[in-house]
Amino acid sequence: MAQMTMVEALNRALNESMTADDRVCVMGQDIAVNGGVFRVTKGLLDRFGADRVFDTPLAEDGIVGTAVGMAIYGLRPVAEIQFSGFTMQAFDQIEQNMARMRNRSRGKYPISMVMRTPYGGGIRAVEHHSESREAYWAHTPGLKVVIPSGPRNARALLNAAILDPDPVVFYEPKAVYRAFREDVPDEMETLPIGTARIAREGADLTLIAYGAVMRPTLEAAEDLADLHQVDVEVIDLLSIKPMDTETIVNSVTKTGRCVIVHEGPRTCGIAAEIIARLNEHAFEYLLAPIRRVTGFDTHFPYFQVERHYLPDSETIAEAVRETLAWE
Amino acid sequence: MPSQTIQTSAVRGTPDPTSSSRAVPPARIDLGEIDDLRVLDENGEVNEALDPGLPDDELLRVYRAMVLTRKFDIRMLNMQRQGEMGTFAPGFGQEATQIGQVYPLAQRDWYSPSYRSFGAQIWRGWPMDQLFLLWDGFFEGFAPPPDVNDLPFSIVIGSHVPLAVGIAMGIRKKGVEDAVVVCNFGDGASSQGIVSESMNFAAVFKAPCVFVVENNGWAISTKLEQQSGVTELARRGPAFGVPSVRVDGNDILGMIAASTRAVEHARAGHGPYLIEAVTYRMGVHTTADDPKVYRSDDEVRAWEGKCPIRRMERHLTERGLLDAETIETIGTACEQEVLAARESFRKRAIARPEEIFDFVYEELPPELAAQRDEYLRRLGRA
């Protein structure tokens, strides 16, 4: 058992997966000699060599497209896109080939690959470095979308994503990269993709979040317990697609009230999909309208005002109290 | 092709009298040298020095493959006009380019076709009844046959090119076989950013990938001069560090000489190669297109004399390998083969709605399984 940051835990997962399977290779901009701009791939070049850990030209579409080709050849590429804001350059290859090749080839060429990319705000970055566009990828048939919230589940989910037979978009909450340490077990760990985690049990209301906003969400839950004697259940989604509808529905069936938190823009965001599923499967148990605490339908703001855009624990707690007060 | 310089075109619009720009001479651009290759000229005469030297049976085999491609093409067009086939992209006139680019490939090699490459696909082992299924909108048409290392083509222009490079990178990095990849795209695709990215990746990683840009002069209604600032597309290769050759795409022996040279180069570990095959789209872009809107009959007629099949016929007749009778026999046999494939296609042409869900994921996620079950219940198939 070691105390690790998320960066260290992700690095451990890459080491483990590359040791376990020599088809796994890591590629991207500045990931080899430099170890990645956030150092997630540090040390891999020395350990696994230049045929398995290599820098690419500065071309996101080319990175994803050639990674898909390598997956067709039977390798298991883990491609890093330096910031999720730059994945738009690769939309072409993600949509045309990464997501579709299994289907187009009628199963002959499954694309077992991972596109890792840091997402989200809160690090005082310039434009295009803070986006949360997971809804795009969740909307694309053929992809899986995974977003860890802490070091231990990040490590376990990355190992699972690399093993997965389908292409996985792996969003890393960069605000969490070095925010805290957590015990990470020594033995290899995976988590099943498509399964949410009950981060806190409670009876009064279900709070659903994922990724970086898990921290303010859990903080709000603790504050509500301490200050208002409110007992909130918190679900950490972990997997955006496939989504663990069962865990969500069971919880809301029990609590009857729900607030959903995410960083990305509200319209057609992940919360909208969760609400639709609760409408289909738990309508008769709902005691109040479901609330969303999300980013605005704006471009991610420049960093002097980014804290006004990002959901914080106060806003979340207020939405919970209002939902509880609804009759 | 000798070294060329071009002058940048004059600035358009009304000259500004206060500007001194008219006094500035246009900059010169040195486009370097590109090898121009032709073995068999339009009269069927061979340049012995460049002849790839195929034995007689091989010459007849490639001739027959071109005839079969054209018979398949014409039959599919008829079927489309009679409502028995979906929209498709005929390859009429481009048979030598198609067969020549895959001629040197072995079974372990890979081929990434574009949608007009059915001649090459047939050569590589795609059954014709399956290609009929493909163009008539059946899922199973797209599945590459089990023993054929080919990609199903991608419809978005140029989007398949990085896949070919990625396969070639995989071959090189894994280092266990000397396979190569041939990737076909058109003059229109050469404008796509991803095609440039792919050529650069291939050069950086010395990927054993042969790019064949099939320059047929037209991207639907956009002519080459409107498509590219440099109309000899082979000239793009050297700028990426990729050796290039420009070949008469209606000359099957020239195509074979070029692709053999390129494949040997890649197989030897020297990295990618670019072949520009200069040809002409004799027919429509697709069956939904009317070329009379954008090009003249005279232009098309000028290319009729350059027909790749007639050219090879003249050559093989001169060599004593063909005569009127054998030409007729081969044509009839190819037609029979196509008709047999059509019969097989008609028997196999059964759509199964369940297939919509079959290969989206390895296992259906719960939400998708629920959608499938609900749909099949409504169909009465559950």
B103 in any annotated domain: yes
CA distance B346 to A213: 57
B346 and B361 fall within a common domain: no
The order of strands in the sheet holding A232-236 is A197-200, A232-236, A205-209, A258-265, A291-295
B185 and B134 fall within a common domain: yes
Each residue's pLDDT tens digit, A106-134: 999 999 999 999 999 999 999 999 999 99
pLDDT at A327: 85
pLDDT at B33: 87
Domain of B255, CATH number, reads: 3.40.50.970
B197 and A62: CB-CB below 8 Å? yes
Q: Is the CB of residue B30 less than 8 Å from the CB of residue B235?
A: no
Cα four-point dihedral sign A247, A250, A251, A253: positive
B27 in any annotated domain: no
CA distance B201 to A103: 26
Q: How far is B329 from chain A (nearest CA, A)?
A: 36
CA distance B72 to B25: 54
User: Which residues in chain B are contacts of A52 at CB distance < 8 A?
Assistant: 173
Q: What is the dihedral of CA A76, B265, A56, A147, to 10 degrees?
A: -20
B23 in any annotated domain: no
B296 and B374 fall within a common domain: no
- In the predicted structure, residue B259 carries a pLDDT above the cut 70: yes
Q: How far is A248 from chain B (nearest CA, A)?
A: 13
pLDDT at A1: 85
B109 and B195 fall within a common domain: yes
| Total domain count, chain B | 2
Nearest to B171 among A73, A141, A194 (CB): A73
- In the predicted structure, residue B285 carries a pLDDT above the cut 70: yes
Question: Where do the domains of chain A lie, and which CATH numbers do they carry?
Answer: 2-184 (3.40.50.970), 197-325 (3.40.50.920)
B111 in any annotated domain: yes
Each residue's pLDDT tens digit, B92-134: 999 999 999 999 999 999 999 999 999 999 999 999 999 999 9
CA distance A175 to A308: 16
Contacts of B346 (CB under 8 A, 6+ apart): none
Angstrom CA distances, B87 to A150, B137, B279, B287, stand at: 51, 9, 23, 6
Tell the residue number behind the tokens 């409408």, with chain if given. A279
B6 in any annotated domain: no
A67 touches chain B (CB under 8 A): yes
Each residue's pLDDT tens digit, B193-251: 999 999 999 999 999 999 999 999 999 999 999 999 999 999 999 999 999 999 999 99
B125 and B208 fall within a common domain: yes
Nearest to A166 among B161, B205, B361 (CB): B361
Each residue's pLDDT tens digit, A274-325: 999 999 999 999 999 999 999 999 999 999 999 999 999 999 999 999 999 9
B250 and B360 fall within a common domain: no
CA distance B152 to A104: 7
Each residue's pLDDT tens digit, B152-181: 998 999 999 999 999 999 999 998 999 999
B166 and A246: CB-CB below 8 Å? no
Angstrom CA distances, B154 to A181, A270, B90, B142, stand at: 45, 30, 16, 10
User: Which residues in chain B are contacts of A25 at CB distance < 8 A?
Assistant: 173
Q: Is the CB of residue B203 less than 8 Å from the CB of residue B271?
A: yes
Q: What is the DSSP string of B141-161?
A: GGSPPTT--BPPP-SSTTTTH
B276 and B363 fall within a common domain: no
B283 and B371 fall within a common domain: no
Helix axes A313-325, A214-228, angle to 10 degrees: 50
**Strand B218-219 with A76-80, pairing:** unpaired
pLDDT at B19: 59
pLDDT exceeding 70 applies to what percent of chain B?
94
B8 in any annotated domain: no
A59 and B163: CB-CB below 8 Å? no
Cα four-point dihedral sign B286, B288, B294, B296: positive
B270 in any annotated domain: yes
Q: Is the CB of residue A129 less than 8 Å from the CB of residue A185?
A: no
B298 and B357 fall within a common domain: no
**Strand A232-236 with A205-209, pairing:** parallel
B114 and B172 fall within a common domain: yes
B347 and B361 fall within a common domain: no
Structure tokens at A47: 């350990």
- In the predicted structure, residue B17 carries a pLDDT above the cut 90: no
For B376, the domain range is: 353-382
A289 touches chain B (CB under 8 A): no
CB neighbour burial string for B88-122, b if at least 16 within 10 angstroms, e if fewer = bbbbbbbbbbbbbbbbbbeeebbbbbbbbbbbbbb
Q: What is the dihedral of CA A76, A82, A83, A85, to 10 degrees?
A: -80
Q: A320: burial class by Cβ within 10 Å (0-12, 13-18, 19+)?
A: buried
Q: How far is A91 from chain B (nearest CA, A)?
A: 11
SS3 (DSSP) at B212: strand
Contacts of B229 (CB under 8 A, 6+ apart): none
B180 and B323 fall within a common domain: yes
- How does pLDDT run along chain A (327 residues), one tens digit per residue? 899 999 999 999 999 999 999 999 999 999 999 999 999 999 999 999 999 999 999 999 999 999 999 999 999 999 999 999 999 999 999 999 999 999 999 999 999 999 999 999 999 999 999 999 999 999 999 999 999 999 999 999 999 999 999 999 999 999 999 999 999 999 999 999 999 999 999 999 999 999 999 999 999 999 999 999 999 999 999 999 999 999 999 999 999 999 999 999 999 999 999 999 999 999 999 999 999 999 999 999 999 999 999 999 999 999 999 999 998
CA distance B200 to B182: 16
B29 in any annotated domain: no
